[in-house]
Amino acid sequence: MTEVYALHTAGVMEDGVRGHLLTMVSPEKRTRIRLLRNPDDAHRTLFSELLLRFLVMRKYGIPNREICLDFDAYNKPFLRNFGGFHFNTSHSGRWIVCALDRTAVGIDVEFMKEVDPGEFNDILSPEERKDLFALKGNDRLAYFYRLWTLKESYSKATGEGLNINFGSLTFKKRSQGEAALISGGGYGRNFFFRTYNLDPFHALAVCSQRGLFSEDVRILGVDEIIKSFAGERTDA
């Protein structure tokens, strides 16, 4: 089953706690965080890796120091020495999300800010544009972000990222949050899709090579993550 988790990161964190948590991530990620000028970006980047590490620690019962992240040819992170474990993360606003599975998986979350979907015609197929502009107001905006997150999740699951022409993909919604890629994409028949209602302001989509998704998103709290690293140390 594709497991889907979300972490809401609102709140103030003491410097001492933040300093300890920084030692829990990889040296490369620590350097990247310290170079980020925007505090919110640094906060999200830190907790994005902490969320993943928390889930791995809980799933395998191993200490944090035994978790080693690496990157493939597409610069997609993977867990070294743990075959059959796939994951993907995304963040937007105060939300960080993570999907876990035994096969390739992708996830995307987007804050649904006001935009003119007509300005993004290049990421939509002709059939999608027809479906989209048959809607009005908030329904149109919500459907646009639904399509956007589905395409992002697919590109992340395949590992091809920006190499995929989003406009060549056509998605159709189905009942109960399911969606299907009906044209475009050489991998389309090998992937399944699900969207979730994270909150009224964010769109969330997951792509997996298996058609069995968790019914709901498991919401985690920052305190739960922080406590899990209280007794941890790192050799980094």
Q: Which residues of 114-144 are buried (b: 16+ CB within 10 A; e: fewer)?
A: eeebeebeebbbeebbebbeeeeeeebbebb
Question: What does the longest C-alpha to C-alpha distance in the chain come to?
Answer: 57
Report, at the CATH architecture level, how domain 3-228 is classified.
Alpha-Beta Complex (3.90)
What confidence tens digit (pLDDT) does each residue in 155-203 have?
A: 999 887 767 889 999 999 887 778 888 877 665 568 999 999 999 999 9
Provide mean pLDDT across the span 57-66.
Answer: 92
- Residue 171 exposure: Cα atoms within 13 Å on the Cβ side: 29
Q: Which residues of 56-81 are buried (b: 16+ CB within 10 A; e: fewer)?
A: bbeeeeeebeebebeeeeeebbebee
What confidence tens digit (pLDDT) does each residue in 106-119 have?
A: 999 999 999 998 88
- CA–CA gap between residue 112 and residue 99 (Å, rounded): 20
Kindly list the domain boundaries of the chain, sorted by start residue: 3-228
When the pLDDT of each residue in the chain is averaged and rounded to a whole number, the result is 89
- Residue 112 exposure: Cα atoms within 13 Å on the Cβ side: 21
Q: Residue 113 has what pLDDT?
A: 95
- CA–CA gap between residue 201 and residue 63 (Å, rounded): 36
Cα angle 166, 101, 161; round to 5: 25
Specify the pairing of strand 69-71 against strand 77-79. Answer: antiparallel
Helix (H) or strand (E) holding 101: strand 95-101
What pTM, to 2 d.p., does this model score? Answer: 0.91
Cα angle 130, 132, 135; round to 5: 110
